[in-house]
Amino acid sequence: MRLKTLPQRLYPFVCALCGASTDTGLDLCTACQADLPLLGVTCLRCAQPLSAVDPKICGTCQQQAPPQDRTLSAYRYEPPLDHLILQLKFHGKLHLALLLSQLTAQYLIQHSHPLPECIIPVPLHPSRLRERGFNQASEIAKPIATQLKIPINHQIIYRKHNTAPQSGLSQQERKRNIRDAFALHKPLTARHVAIMDDVLTTGHTVAEIAKILRHAGAHTIEVWVCARTLSL
């Protein structure tokens, strides 16, 4: 599957990192795209880097498998990619959601087979959504859904607790903070789903959602993220 050609724009593509004009069809020049930190070979279940192709599952997941079946991410959460995500998330630069979705879609097209029946963005609590004005996971998911011809479902999972931000918390604090934060809102009819988020760190957030979806009848659960933080 090839990425769709973007409609003709009235303004040129400009690299979001260095500011140079670019003819790549992305707001990212060839040199800056080459600088993005690729993950390489990763564990199929959690996307932590592996030193070799075999085994395909890391030791941690062999001992205690996460609730999702697969995690897909092309990049490490490191400079300069982290700058793009932070500018979107905390500085409201919504145009970067399209760039991040294009970069992510390029990887998903190669590695997600068969494609899931729907994409479920990690929801924000309503009060956090009002404060920020947008859900970054949803903004990244929308162009991917259009590109891959997969519906987005915002109605299945909702965030029932306005938890503290996960950033700055230890792994155990993150786990306690997010526990029981989500709930099923509507019945799940899809059996193969993808949970979409911007960054995967400890995996506790997507694990909470994956457990709910599994209980609701999902047979295959993928996690799609733009970037993966290496183990804390």
Position 1 confidence tier, pLDDT thresholds 50, 70, 90: very low
The C-alpha atoms of residue 117 and residue 108 are separated, in whole angstroms, by: 14
Q: Is 213 exposed, middle or buried (0-12, 13-18, 19+ CB in 10 A)?
A: buried
DSSP state at residue 70: E
pLDDT digits (tens, 9 = 90+) for 129-164: 999 999 999 999 999 999 999 999 999 999 998 886
**Residue 82 and residue 78: Cα distance in Å, rounded?**
5
d(CA 154, CA 118): 10
pLDDT band at 10 (very low <50, low <70, confident <90, very high): low
Exposed, middle or buried: residue 127 (CB in 10 Å: 0-12, 13-18, 19+)?
exposed
Domains (range + CATH), the chain? 36-228 (3.40.50)
Diameter of the chain measured on Cα atoms? 54
Q: Read off the pTM.
A: 0.91
At 190 the three-state DSSP class reads coil
